[in-house]
Structure 1
Amino acid sequence: KAGRMGERCCAAVLRVLVLQAAWALSGGQVRYSVPEEAKAGTVVGRLAQDLGLEAGEAEARRLRLVAQGRRASVEVSGASGALLVSSRLDREELCGKSAPCALRLEVLLERPLRVFHVQLEVTDINDNVPIFPAARKNLSIAESSLPGSRFPLEGASDADIGANDAYGSHSPVGARRRNDGGRHLWTGTMDLVVILVLDANDNAPQFNQSVYKVQLPESAGVGTLVTRVNATDPDLGSNSEITFSATSFIPPSGRNVISINPNTGEIHLTAALDFEEVSVFDFRIEVKDQGTPPLSSHCSVELKVLDVNDNAPEVWVTSLSVPVPEDASVGTVVALLSVSDRDSGENGRVRCWVWPASPFGLEATFAGSYSLVLREALDRERVSEYEVEVRAEDGGAPALRASRGLRVPVSDVNDNAPAFAQAVYTVLARENNAAGAELARLWARDPDEAGNGRVSYSVWDGGVSVGGGAAGSSYVSVDAESGRLWALQPLDYEELQVLQFEVRAVDAGEPPLSGNATVQLFVLDENDNAPALLPPAGSAPEAGVVAAAEVVAKIRAVDADSGYNAWLRYELWEPRGKGPFRVGLYSGEVSTARALDEADGPRQRLLIVVRDHGEPARSATATLSVSLLEAAEAALAAGSSAATNVWLVVAICAVSSLFLLAVVLYGASRWAPRAAVLSGPGPTTLVCASEVGSWSYSQRHSRSLCVADGAAKSDLMVFSPNFPPPPPGPAPKDTQPEPSALLDTVTLSKRHLYPSSQRRKEQEREERGKEN
């Protein structure tokens, strides 16, 4: 048999190993056929060539079969791309009596991902011998049998199909040997042995019908009555007593599914039915009488199993391409899925969908095959991972469901630039701060991950700078990782009041993205400058008669600080008490407090302290020497100074003209650039107030205020008339005046005069103010 099978296989391979179909116009499907029992390595078809692939492309793009369900017994050659037989193909094992026997295969091709469908038909060869139900048969023949009498025998069965079957698989055979219908003839034999010749039992039992057709649902339980066969025998006595038995099961597993009561002919189920395993059972019932010899006859029973929706759909993931980049285009294939249901008809018709609603959807590519594709744009910063569930439901009643969960992570793309929490940061820093002192911390958020979200900071010199036009990087620096803003050097308010610059945040993506923030650094004034005394303006007052409350000199001082720190007051330190002189608290004018007399002496030495309002206050002292002359000496001194005053006036006019011209030129050069820088938008940053007035620094509006005979001040001083100036108070008890910085001499007449009533009232008001 093995030799004959080899010859038949070789002949069949040479005859049918030809491509049966190319691409079907309707579905892009490749079809091949191969005979069963083909040897391993047999070429079924040139799959790569039929799919239109170039040489070597099948291996480069990993052309392969997708394993699913039962073993396919074929494989794809990685080198040639041919479809080969990998193991024994047995059509009877794969499909039984079903024809045609077609296997559905899925072929996967990567880069880009594509799926093809191949249908492989396994054709039948005559590889099964007709089989009789028994190798030996005993017949009892009555002696009264006439020549030509016929004796029924059980027919042979053949597992092959079509022409290879033995006359319909189980037709009765009237001879000892009988060939089947295949081209290569196989023969089954049965030995006939005559044991006994009896007296006439000349009537065989007869069934009331030759074929019984029964339908049962596959859910029928064990013990269910399948059917009842009926037979009668017209003989008498034991010759009419009949018994039933079941034989010739197709498939053979039917022997374990049913049993028959030998006396009643009732057939019951002895095992559960499974439509997906066997849908039809064929078997024979033999009825035999008790005569001598016994006579028998046969009938056929066809049990058709009806499908019940007892199988839920099955979902397989055949390919998964994750993670999905967040900039993936709509229509990108994420996964390939295969869905099937072992039931038939509506019970096996499956519909699929994606749950919950997500940016993904299903597209049917072939019967039972789906692609999970991207339907909407992704944003990893909004959703970084999706839990997708593919659900399947069949059409049974009730419907059965199945699902398959997929985890689809989204990979990051550098699509977010760093963003600061504020567009403009206002930073206040006191002057004289130590180099390296932290001024502020800036932070920019980048929702991307890894390097795409790792931010580094830097001071951008391309930003606007205020205060002498210096670049921000000359004064401050920012830590690249933490965003800590710190000073490179001590700040000096008298040199720099406002510094505006930009800080840039750049991520580490490719390409990198950046964001900017403006920093306005305001330097706060510290009382680090003591008042500075200016030289006296002009000569001493003319000698003459001095009345009470007459200004005899003026102390002039300026302070390089600002605000309270530059607000000066003048105090007469010596002599204390009821001296003949006093000094204006805020004007610095030295005037007589009363009329001078002989007791005041010929010379007075005044020690005047100039203090600012800083905390702690800083001060300077001026010494004023006042000489008292007789009236005649005073007149002589006045006459000698008259000529000098003429030249002095001329000199003052010339100097004043030059000074005025210099002020105009300086103001033009100073005002234009500052106005360009400070005219930009920005809120008023610092407002200060005191008991004597208020002043503010505004970035939008800035003015330069010149203190008389002093340096220009960049503070806008606005004093409120609602608050009277406070009375001059005594110097702190424990504070000693700083060493004298100015020494001036004033010569006055010694004539005794009394103050006028108006001046006396002013003097009294000032004295009351001091007491208060």
Structure 2
Amino acid sequence: MGGGRKTSRLCRLFLAVLLRCCAAQISFSISEEVDKETVVGNLAKELNVNARDLQTRDLSLVSAYSQEYFKANFRTGELYVAARIDREELCPKATKCTLNLEAILRSPMSLHRIEVLVDDVNDNAPRFVEESHSLNVSESSPAGEHFLLPLALDADVAANSVKTYKLSANEYFALDVQGGDGEQSASAELMLIKALDREKQAAIKLTLTAVDGGKPSKSGTSLLTVNVLDVNDNSPTFSQALYKARVQENAPFGSLVVQLSATDFDEGDNGRLTFAFVKRAHFDPADVFLIDADTAEVTVKGRLDYEAQAAYDIHVQAADHGLSPRRANAKLLVEVLDVNDNAPEIVVTSLMNPVKEDAERGSVVALVTVTDKDGGKNGNTQCKLGSAAPFHLKSNYRNYYSLVVDGPLDREEYAFYNVTLVANDEGKPPLSSASLIAIHIADVNDNAPRFSESVINIYVKENSPAGATSHRITAKDSDMNENARVTYALLGDANGIPISSMININPESGDIVSLQSFDYETLQTLEFKVQATDGGVPPLSGNVSVNLFILDQNDNSPRILPPYSEHGSANGESVPYSAEAGYFVAKIRAVDADSGYNALLSYQLSEPKGGNGPLFRIGSGSGEIRTRRRMSEDDLKSHPLVVSVCDHGEASLSATVSIDVLVLESTADIRTQFRHVPRKEESFSRLHLYLLIAIAAVSLVFLLSLLAFVAFKCRRRTDGGAPVIAAHPDGSWSYSKATQQYDVCLGSDTLKSDLVLFPAAFPPAEAELISIHGGDTFTRTQTLPNSEKPKVPNSDWRYSASLRAGGVMQSSVHMEESSVMQGAQGVLVQNWPTASSAADAEGGEVSPPMGAGVDSNSWHFRYGPGGPGGPPQHLKAGDVPPEAFIIPGSPAIISIRQNQGGEDDKSDFITFGKKEEAKKKKKKKKDKKDKKGKDDDE
């Protein structure tokens, strides 16, 4: 009975395929272990069918499962659960579990695929294969060492699988949990966090708990016994923590998988290692692989099946042979490579035929399903078209495809298409299968005229006659008959002028005809578009851009440029008789309005033949006329030259110019000739003239500024008999001006002496200027503050400066130059504009620019004692000169000796201090002088 029902369902499915009905994918989701008659979804709504029509259209559900898990309610259109669904029973190893059904409706016939996703329910608790597990751990194991723990299994998947592990409270161990996030189950390793001591505790009892991620969560436990071993202090070490290897599923027994390597730094038995697999849960690697205990060589032992298990996660342990063996663990990941032994299968479930020519891109023509029994890459299939056709395979879902229109269809060219479908898998070597589908096409006008080029370039010679055909433009239409008949038209304008006024196109043939003669010098390029339109209904058209280039013809003669082309001018040049070979005579310049070779010019020279041969030559490219040789007596005095300028056009055009070259013998003739007939080549241009004037003006301004600066400096030195001060080795200073000479000495009996010199135009603020009048009186005009006193100079110095003294003979003295002298007895303080070192420890001397002699005036400034601790030898204390200048508050003595014509006519002293003291000293000096005169008489 069950077999008959299954056969009936298969017949219905085959009938649906024959009726070429369109299938659609419908997806539902339901949890496992739900009660019977639980509603999965509304089929009527998903199929877009009225619930009352489900029974009249004979809805049937077809599945490939032995048990009927779902049924349909024809009254409500709902799909409900008909039998208990256990996900672990249906999909024991899959992370995603689906049940596939086929829903078939008749009148009209339609096929729909139904996919029911069975969601996992946390109905299984984690479970350890071993209820107890023992570990041997050496007491010398370092903190942080990891030990493998039993793996808990959970029949549930995803979030309901094992997510974490817990360990009972203790002071030696902790758990290192890996994974547990996403869809992966968690695993755990025992990590030592505190050194063990076998003497204190030989065995440690722990409880390992595995917890899944369900809500509420479930758990399972296993008893761990840790045996603490003694002494071996070096553990084996693998060269890698993770080894990866690949092996084909048809690899013969004994095939090498991988060579492991581990070392132990101990000696003897403690360093000799033994390798072994670690059994975890239900999987024992020794059933499939073999490891050599001494060499760690892993080989194939059992039959590998990629479809059963694609990869093996193996833990390998290396243990030494010490009294307390130490172990190291490594992980080996073996990937089983699938062998491709199944070809893909192509099934066409629906076909729409015929297909209109104007079908839009993406229109479905047929539904295609491709399956492959292999797994991995060998089971991954790709389906494509094996023949050129305007169709495309569109992937819908996994290995389900739709054959859709992917290009224009043309009934007139192809009445039908034989489309070949080719399916390939990704195996090595790949396997393939093919299927042929015949598709008929119904014609419509769907092809527009097309040009072979996107841009068409046309070349027309200038001066071509109007009405000449320059080019034929052709467009093709893939349609036939009336839909392929093409007419042509011009589009666009040039510079605001309609293009149709310059050229025309034959609407039938596409010949382009010029309506006028073109001039290259006026117009070089025309840009326009040509439109091609077919005779279909509605008509279709296409455009192409056309560039019409005017080709230059040699229709312009060269033109001589001025000055030799000036209207009514006589072209004459002159050459001296003594000119050497290569002497420049003139340069001819010419231009040509054409372009390219038509504008490339060359120059030729013709002259009357002489007895000694041609006298002149011209550069064919430069146009420069130069002498070929020196002049001779046999040469003519006047040479009429004719210069011809030719272009390089196919029909060469030329222009000529005549030049009379006159040979001049004398220099006067040459100058006259140059005065009346200026040389055009060597004359200055206007720009050169402007540059010359600018340079001359700048140079003149600079020279005038320099002269003014020198004159100003000289005036400062010589104006009004500029004085000069000189310091002598004996401690005196000389001040020279005109024909007078003054000696100034600082007395030894003064407590303080100041000499202040400053410019007349800008005297220091609060400075004091003393005017000495002829009546032995002086007046105070300004006071110099103590803060303005200059610094003490070095005793080794030289100085030269101008000093202007006005009105001395008129009973006044003015200090003008910027200088200050201040100091106590025997000390000089100066701040002069210019100074240089060259003196002894007692004073310095600088020779003035103006000589001080018999016919000159000079002041000798003597500072400090003339000798050790005494005044100058030629002065006596208390003597006062007739003329002096002082700074009040500074009782220094300045002696001024006035020399006339080199003779010592007067010797007067002035004492800086009170006026009465000065008069007493003056009287004393006069008495001394009178006494000296008497002694001289005696």
TM-score (norm. length: structure 2): 0.32
Larger relative contact order, structure 1 or 2 (CA cutoff 8 Å, min sep 6): 1
Larger Rg: 2
